[in-house]
Each structure stands twice: as structure tokens, then as C-alpha cells.
Structure 1
């Protein structure tokens, strides 16, 4: 099944070129089927690039998925045209009465700030609370994961002495988890962050299960069964060139930055990097969507009701 996206979204052309099946809203309404509703709270500066990254992974599912783009209402984006935001995004306030089978919260370039110092933290807290009643399952990425695990469990983040930046080996710690179905025992994932959450803090909380971890950069994926949440601290959704783009951007801006770890062939930034995480990115998102499909109520209005069981 194709992914259903707003008519005219720029990501459509890229997705079609990559072989991702795309369905416009006009075509979707003719099909007598309830698609899974997934919302994307996009906090990344380059929203269009993030839309493509997430839609690519969701669109690989055999299920019909309707993707809704959401933005913070109290924050003005500087790197995305206003026309794009007005055409394709709703503020959270505009969709807060709706229900979603899945909801994705991305990272944001505010990780060095204390949570309370983020200008939109009050709205962020309201959104996180809203997910407990209006969303069946939430997937939180990078800063979004750190914000969510702090909000719900007060697991702190720590500032690193230097940026964790590159492609790092990770281990599968729970092969029985449905979210790790098909994962290798040992694999590599992009990391790009100035802060970290630590396993020693996470394991103190009953109900938080570390599914994936790196000996160099710490926990990567944590599952919370009761809240039906995934906390993904690294960027498994990144494009092949995402780390290169960050590296050259900082270099051109005169910001001191080290070569991304284990990324460029022979550490030569003139050579194009090889993508060694694409298949696992598809596995993670596919497993997440599959679990949503198996556990979400057919009547979406029942999400958040007393008889609603969030599932695994």
C-alpha cells in the first residue's frame, strides 16, 4: 500500500523517484479502507528534508498510512518557507482534538539548553501529555526522545565534552522484542548529538526496556510498554549524506568539528559515504507500524478511552 500525503507536498517527487508508492488525498478518499493515521511533529530546522526521510520509511509499509504534518504553534521556523508551513502543516492546537494511531516527534537543535529554557517547552509538555490520551503509540527521536523521557520519567540528559558524531556500532539487547524483529545482533547507526541519556538512569525505572545500545555512545532505543512509547536517541532515519551535510556546514561556518566517526571511506571527506543503516531503519519503522496495526482499535475514536489497551 502507498503512503497518503498532502496534495502537492514537495517530498512527493523525491519519494516517487525512489520507488516509494505515493497516494494523493484525492485518490485515497475513493478507497473504502481506514488508513493508519500517523502524525509527524517536525521540530527539525530543514523540515522538507525531514519530511522526505520519515515519509520514505513509513511509505515502505504494506499498509495504507495517512501522514499528517504538525508544527509547534508558538515557534517561528527560520529555515522553512512560511508558504510551505501554511500549505502543508497544522499547528498542534489545530489538531489536538483528533486521534492518531501513531505520532512521531523529531529532534530539534536545542539540546544544549535546559528543557525549561526552550521557548516552546510549555507547548511541548502539553503535546506530550496529549499523546497519552489521543495517540496509540509514539516514536520520539533524538531531542524529542530526551524531552519525552525527561517529561514522563525525569531521566536526565548530560552534556558531552565533545559531540557524538558519526556512525557507531550498536548491539541488539532484546531479540524477543517485536520492535527488533529482523535486526542483526550487531549493526551501525548514525549519531549526531551534544547530549546523552545514560543506561544507569534508565534501568532504575521499571517498565523502561533498553532494546539497543552502543558501547561508545550509550543507549539508542528504549521501549516503554505501559505508555506504548519508543525513545530513539540516534538518527536511524538519516539520509546517506546527512552527516556529511552537517560536517561541511559547520566547516564553512568556521565551527570546529571533527571528522564523523567511521563514516567517510578511509576517513576521506572527498569520497561519498556508504549507507550501512538503511535496512535497519526500514525494519524499525516497519516493525513499529506493524505493531500499531495489530493493537490499535479499529474505531480510532476509542484511542484514549477506558477500554483502550495501548498494546505491546
Structure 2
């Protein structure tokens, strides 16, 4: 069969428009800083974030997802909703310099001095106190110009409270991309290095999902839809392709999948050792996520994959 005919009968395609580029913006930096466990990925000072986002836009990538690391952390993560906080400043700069869709990750783990996703009661995250702060953060991000708010804390009721907070503040048209099925995964390790968000004690299994559970993921997604989510997310992607597929079959909303730091780092490490072809493995991985049913893919490969797609 010729290559032209193979292309004609291909069932699933990958486009640069499917890609979302995650970026780390670190208030403590004066120059971009490579992330050792994520070859090719850097954290950027606020003043360099717009230039990096612009380089993604030049490749045809339509959106960026922002994570912030502040200079000051406290027990409540109060820099998260500071109007002059790191993500809010980066949003303004990127919106000024590009036409990208800017997605703001919303969690407190990068902002708290203990590394957990919200307010602690003893050594346990207090759900209700935490989501109140998520509402404040969502408003600050929307006021800065965020096009989409992406709550990742996996707190019960977070989507409903954020939707209400945005609506009350006049941001009825700002959509919510909910990390609806976020698993307590071993594949987040490199991210925690980049985001400086490793918990000082304990773990996040009290609120992130058990890797053995699929039906629970469906319940979590259905609950987020009821609360007002506009986009559902599955995280990680590759170990949970079955969850992406079930979500695609069950729900009409757009499905996002997060090709997380550990998935990225594995391909990079194997390729560096000559154990696999980097570009083929990258493109096959991303295509499999699309084939499972994801409409959009958050991936650290975004710029490399976009360049590769531009060659095709």
C-alpha cells in the first residue's frame, strides 16, 4: 500500500491544533532554568514568559497552560490570588504579546509552604476552606485575562464553587477545564521538581484518584459536568487511555488529556540511551492519546511535535 493511500485510510490524525503547551513561570528566576529531570523543558522568569509563549504560537500551537512558582509561600497559599502574583503577571504579559488561549492551572500546592493543595486541618487538607480560596484564585486569574480556568486540586465541589465565583464576579463566559480524573500517580515526579510542589509530609492520595478505579472516574466527571465544567481532563494520559476512551463514549464535552512529566521523561531517557527512536515514540504516544478520544493534549512535547507536524 502506498504512503498516499495509507494517509487516505488513516482513522486518526494528530494536528498541531490539538496541542497545549504547559509552561512553568518562576518568580525567583532571572533567566530561564533547565529542569534536570525533564530534558528540554525550562522554567521561565515572568519577563521571559511571553517570548517563550510567542515561540509556541509561531509553531501553530493554540494554547498554553501556566503554572506559577512564587517568591513567597505561606500556609494558605495566598500568593495564588494576589492580583500581582506570578501567574497573573505572566497572563497579562502573554495576552499582551500573543493571541494564544491562556489556560491558568488552579491549585495551591505551588503556593503553600507545606506543598499540599489547600488549607490544612492538622495534616489533612480541609476541603471546604480550600475551595473558598480556589474561588478567590479563579477570580484573580480571570481578571488578569485568563481565557480558561483549570482547577487541578481534586477537591469535592471545586468546580461548582469556582463557577459560582466567576459568575458572581462577571466572568460568566470564562470556561472551566476541570482535572476531573486526576490519579494519584507515580508519573508526576519530574513535575514536582519543576513546580517546587513536593509535599513536606504525607501524600495526595486522600483526594487524588486510586489508579485501580475506572467507574469512580466516570462518577467524578459526571459530577463536574453537573457543577458546570466545560472541558473534562484525564491525567495522566498514557497509563489511563482506557479512562479517556470511556469518557469519550460517555460524555459529549471536550476531553483533554495530560501527557505528564513522567511520560515525557521516560521517552527522553530511553532515546538518550539509544533504546528507541525519539520522534517516532513521541508521535506514536500523542497519536494514541488522540485515538483513545482526547480532543486536546497537554504535553511537554508540544513544540517538538508541532515542528515535526510542520515537516509532514
* TM-score category (smaller protein): 0.3 to 0.5
User: Which has the larger strand fraction?
Assistant: 1
Q: TM-score, normalised by structure 2?
A: 0.34
User: Which has the larger helix fraction?
Assistant: 2
Higher relative contact order (CA 8 A, sep 6+): 2
